[in-house]
Structure 1
Amino acid sequence: MKFAVMRLALAPMLATSFIFTVPARAADVFPNRPIRVVVPSAPGGLLDVVTRLAAQKMSEKLGQPVVVENRAGGGTLVGTRFVRSAPADGYTLLAATNTITALPAVKLDPGYDLLKDFTGIGQIGRSPWFVLVGANQSDKSIADFIARGKSNPATMTFASAGFGTTPYLAAQSFLHRAGVKMLHIPYKGNSAVYPDLISGRVTMLFDGVGNTATMVKGGQLRALGVTSHKRLAAYPDIPTVAEQGLPDFTSYFYLALLAPAGTPKAVVQRLADALQSATSTKEMRQRFEADGIEPIATTPEEFNKALRRDLDDMAQLATTLGVKKE
């Protein structure tokens, strides 16, 4: 009799426990709604294009839409700060280049602490730069460009997506190595530079291969060189910078995804798995080859270690170039 009474007493408690545990498990399923990826630069750039391709493939793996949203401005700071302040639940992510490790080296207050405010999901790939001039410029090679720069130091300019961004530091590193000084003209994004570069209002731009290959092939822009270790298979007629008088000069930028710090590890891993699945597809690999992008598969742990190293490397580069924090 006591046993029967005890079973009756426990029945409501078990029922209550079941009622509360089922919704909790359902809430733990990730993702259960669309995911937003913020690109902190203008539409049309390589980061934007590649992120959209990766997002489409990730959505197939995750079973939810992965929507890309551009938040340009402040040399990527507008979008970066927006994601920093977003909930750490995996539903708002940041697409970034290594500008995110460069800005702390050149800004007194970039508005974020990379290692405290973000956690890495993984790298998408890395790309070298084209050294670009308008097709109406007289330069036919890196040697021509350097010679003209030394002869006309007050008349030549270079453009970038903003002070401290990756293309800015890459161009400054090249000019420093070449012994040439030029006036810097900042823009809101590299894509905004194209009309002025084509017309000759600005002299030179460092930009990702995939961004400008069409304009190079179409004869609007001239790629004087590429900053990779060796010539790209898709562009065998464009020599490296290193083989044109600057031995061992190479420069790459990477494309990656990050999440706000505190995002659960299981969620980060789910996103990382989806990203690696996306970048390993035949379609993405073919697009990468055409755009001069080298795929890179990293775990979140490996990427976070790479971010720490890159912060130190960028600080050292800024010191070498004599770039003062603003």
Structure 2
Amino acid sequence: MLVAATCAYSNIASSADFPSRTIRIIVPVSAGGWGDVTTRVVAQKLGDVLGQSVLVDNRTGAGGLVGIRYTKEQPADGYTLMSTGSTISIQESVNKEPGYDALKDFTLVGTFARSPALVIAGAKSTYKSLGDLVADAKAHPGQISFGSAGIGTTTHIAAAMMLKQANIQMQHVPYKGNGAAMPDVIAGRVSFMVDAYGSSAAGLHGGLLKALAVTSDSRLPVLPDVPTTAQQGLPGFTYYYWLGLFAPAGTPKEVVKKINDALEKVLSVPALKAKLEAQGTEPFYKTTADSTAFLKKDLTDNQEMIRTMGVPKQ
């Protein structure tokens, strides 16, 4: 009883003092991708609000599974968090043994950002629009290829959803991350890739890439000349990437609340909102309770989507 009481007191004390040292955010995607770039923007300001350094640690591999599994095994004290979104839902759905249960092994502290996807091709591509790409794919079924950051990643699923609605078939070429795929997209060795604006902006504005479509409800202010997928023959089609901060299950509620409160403050800062919007991203804050409900729906939606698309479990 004395040991239990001592441990309970220690947990309360540590929660009250949180944070007293550096916080680490695991990012299960490669450096330079949208999830990495966006997390770094928010992490810096989060550290300012919490009064401690917040470091980003990229743990990549297996479509995000390496970082997810690693985070699951870390102490539930709030000092190791993870930034991810639909990847955690998708990988649980497409793997026979993902090695985690998103709802049982993690607490979604709070969502913080979302971004539509872009359909991007090399600047020298003959395609001038999504309509050109669809027409070519219909004329050459199964002969056109598209790249992704890996099987079961959001870049793969978003593209597969779009192709299904367009009723076309293409060859899927999975890579080990967006960064690995980009040179082949630029060179035209694959016809296109679905990517977030934040991680393709340099190529778009540097003359290496072109955007054929955006998957948002309306055109992006940063790319006003790029039509939506709905405006190019795919009525109702939208797709958004999202990000949230996850903590290992069992993290004290007081710590979770402190982090969520800090997220809310960070996302209300006008300069940060402007910086995110300049990257084609919008703040997407939810409380911990609302974030949990959102995750449950995302898990269900992705499981149903993957089943309907016939994506085989790995």
User: Which interval holds the TM-score relative to the shorter structure?
Assistant: over 0.9
SS at match of 2:116: strand
Number of the residue aligned with 2:269: 281
Number of positions where the alignment pairs a residue of Structure 1 with one of Structure 2: 306
Match of 2:172 among 165, 168, 184: 184
Number of the residue aligned with 1:73: 61
Instruction: Tell me the distance in 2 between the aligned counterparts of 1:26 and 1:292.
Output: 38
Instruction: Tell me the distance in 2 between the aligned counterparts of 1:57 and 1:159.
Output: 33
CA shift digits 1:238-257 (9 cap, x unpaired): 00010011111111110111
Instruction: Tell me the distance in 1 between the aligned counterparts of 2:250 and 2:273.
Output: 32
Number of the residue aligned with 1:110: 98
Structure 1 residues 181 and 307, CA, compared in 2 at 3 Å: closer, same or farther?
A: same
Number of the residue aligned with 2:17: 29
Letter in 2 for 1:41: V
Tell whether the 8 Å contact from 2:80 to 2:247 is kept in structure 1 after alignment: yes
| 1:57 corresponds to 2:76 | no
Number of the residue aligned with 2:82: 94
TM-score by length of 2: 0.94
Number of the residue aligned with 2:223: 235
Q: In structure 1, list runs of 5 or more residues that go unmatched.
A: 1-20
Structure 1 residues 86 and 25, CA, compared in 2 at 3 Å: closer, same or farther?
A: closer
Number of the residue aligned with 1:317: 305
SS at match of 2:89: helix
Instruction: Tell me the distance in 1 between the aligned counterparts of 2:96 and 2:15.
Output: 41
SS at match of 2:189: coil
* Cα drift, residue 284 of structure 1: 1.4
CA shift digits 1:51-98 (9 cap, x unpaired): 111111111111111111011101000011000000100000001021
Instruction: Tell me the distance in 2 between the aligned counterparts of 1:138 and 1:23.
Output: 61
Instruction: Tell me the distance in 2 between the aligned counterparts of 1:303 and 1:274.
Output: 15
Letter in 2 for 1:36: R
Structure 1 residues 142 and 30, CA, compared in 2 at 3 Å: closer, same or farther?
A: same
Match of 1:208 among 196, 206, 214: 196
Number of the residue aligned with 2:3: none
Letter in 2 for 1:249: F
Structure 1 residues 230 and 270, CA, compared in 2 at 3 Å: closer, same or farther?
A: same
CA shift digits 1:273-295 (9 cap, x unpaired): 11121222122111121111121
Greater Cα radius of gyration, structure 1 or 2: 1
Structure 1 residues 230 and 32, CA, compared in 2 at 3 Å: closer, same or farther?
A: same
| 1:199 corresponds to 2:187 | yes
Number of the residue aligned with 1:7: none
TM-score by length of 1: 0.91
Q: What pairs up with 1:168-183 in 2 under 5 angstroms? A: 168-183=156-171
Instruction: Give the stretch that moved more between structures: 282-291 or 222-231.
Output: 282-291
CA shift digits 1:124-159 (9 cap, x unpaired): 111000001111211101110001111223432111
Letter in 1 for 2:303: A
Q: In structure 2, list runs of 5 or more residues that go unmatched.
A: 1-8
* Cα drift, residue 27 of structure 1: 7.1
Tell whether the 8 Å contact from 2:38 to 2:198 is kept in structure 1 after alignment: no
Match of 1:153 among 141, 153, 162: 141
Q: What percentage of residue pairs aligned between the two structures are identical? A: 46
CA shift digits 1:216-257 (9 cap, x unpaired): 122211110000001111211000010011111111110111
Aligned alpha-carbon RMSD (Å): 1.6
Letter in 2 for 1:163: I
* Cα drift, residue 24 of structure 1: 7.4
Tell whether the 8 Å contact from 2:15 to 2:254 is kept in structure 1 after alignment: no
